[in-house]
Amino acid sequence: MPDTLTGISTPPPSIWRPTPLVLFALAVHAAALVGVIVRPALWPWALGAVILSHGLITAASLWPRGQWLGPNLIRLPEAAIAHGEVALTIDDGPDPDVTPAVLDLLDAHGVQATFFCIGSRALAHPELCRDIVRRGHAVENHSAQHRHSFSLLGPRGYARELQAGQAALSAVTGRVPQFFRAPAGFRNPFLWPVLARLNLRLASWTRRGFDTHEGDPAIVTRRLLRNLRAGDILLLHDGHAARAASGQPVILDVLPPLLAALRQAGLRAVTLHAACATTSSPLSPLASAPAQP
């Protein structure tokens, strides 16, 4: 179906089904309500059960790599693993002071990456976003504004953030994002129905370097390479990047040794889109439109 804002064809929505944890929480709330109505003296137990269910939901919300709130891609599919593929994902851009140098480094090593871009930044730097696509990389949805309160939003807030991000990135690149990554990886149960309606696939990571806080390239590189294997999804940042002692964003000092290590290990960095292309999932459609000139 064509998007009314971009005219780009988007896949139909997929089916949302509550996870066991969400069903458990709903059952606890229903049982607590019935229990209090039938026997008011049970209210302390009912309240305790409700608080426990909220605690479990909160813990799941703060676990970026968790599956309790819905499907979450934290490793590549088996076919990609068999091909010795990994995914390098780069968040929070585009940043005109960092992203061009990142693209040059990726070109020099002949690898492709997935850029999870913020919608407002893409609109501010559209040509840079288009350059990412022109160089063979993928641009995916990292929300419209990258709000720190993202995990506290309700259904309407999530719908606004994701739809605005989709519209911005589709209009700029001419390609409909197929993956979404939550800011900092935090979210709540209201996100999954919105993802299903927009046919977006949630993608987190296997390991990260914490390069928005750690300015030592050696430490960041070591974190990313520890127990590295085919199928891993690695996380770095071209936006909000920490600064190394050299004064430049730490990602620029990390990429050369990281990419060299991948090559030495016989691993090939590909986009999430390419890695998942051989899987048949209703949440990872391959529909896209030609990039704008």
Please say if 125 is a catalytic residue. Answer: no
DSSP 8-state secondary structure symbol assigned to residue 11? P
- Phi-psi map region of 90: left, alpha, beta (phi>0 left; psi -120 to 50 alpha): beta
The least confident of 33-42, 51-60, 70-79, 104-113 is: 51-60
Please say if 91 is a catalytic residue. Answer: yes
- Choosing from 91, 95, 211, 238, which is the catalytic residue? 91
The rounded distance, in Å, linking the Cα atoms of 142 and 120 is 10
Answer whether residue 3 shows pLDDT above 70.
Answer: no
Superfamily for domain range 78-275:
Glycoside hydrolase/deacetylase (3.20.20.370)
Tell me the per-residue pLDDT of 47-92, one tens digit each, with 9 for 90 and over: 887 888 778 777 777 778 888 888 999 999 999 999 999 999 999 9
Tell me the per-residue pLDDT of 198-255, one tens digit each, with 9 for 90 and over: 999 999 999 999 999 999 999 999 999 999 999 999 999 999 999 999 999 999 999 9
User: How far is residue 155 from each of residues 46, 151, 191, measured CA to CA in Å?
Assistant: 26, 11, 7
Tell me the per-residue pLDDT of 158-193, one tens digit each, with 9 for 90 and over: 999 999 999 999 999 999 999 999 999 999 999 999
Mean per-residue pLDDT over the chain, rounded: 88
pLDDT band at 280, cuts 50/70/90? very low
The rounded distance, in Å, linking the Cα atoms of 232 and 37 is 50
- Choosing from 95, 237, 253, 273, which is the catalytic residue? 237
pTM, two decimals, is 0.84
DSSP 8-state secondary structure symbol assigned to residue 207? E
